Amino acid sequence: MPGMTLATSDGIDINVNATLTDETVLSSTVTVPTVEAAVILKSYAWRDRPGAGKDATDLYNLFLVLDQHGSAAVGGWRLDQSNLTGARGDAARNLHQLADRLDTRPNRRGDALDNGALALLIREHITEPE
C-alpha cells in the first residue's frame, strides 16, 4: 500500500496506563504513526473511496490536532515543503483534489463536517502540487 513504509518507519511513542477494576495497573508503550503519516494514508483512503465521509472527517480531525499541538509535537510535518515527491507528492495531489471538491459542495443542515473549514486547512498545510 502506498504510504505504508512512511507510516511505519517513524512514529510517536505514547505511554498508556490502564487501571483494571481490581485496581491492577497495566502500563505499556504504544508506537503510533505521526500525524503526517496518518494524513498521507487517509489521503489514499479518500482517493480510493471518495464518497466515504468518514475519511474526510478523519482528515479534518488530524488537521485540528496539527493546528492545536504544532508540527514538533505530532512527529514533524513536511507536507508544506516544496517539490514533494513519492507518497507526500501523491498525498498533496489527493488532498488538493479533495479541497477542490469540497469547494463545490455546500454544507447541508446536519452535516458533521464543515467542508469549507477542511478545504482551508488543506490549503494552509499542504503544498499545492506542481
pLDDT digits (tens, 9 = 90+) for 75-92: 999 999 999 999 999 999
Count the neighbouring beta carbons within 10 Å of the beta carbon of residue 55.
20
pTM: 0.84
- Find the length of the chain: 130
pLDDT band at 106 (very low <50, low <70, confident <90, very high): confident
DSSP 43-79: HHHHHH-TT-HHHHHHHHHHHHHHHHH-TTTTT---T
pLDDT the model gives residue 9: 74
What pLDDT is stored for residue 52 in this prediction? 63
pLDDT tens, residue by residue, 34-77: 999 999 999 999 888 866 678 889 999 999 999 999 999 999 99
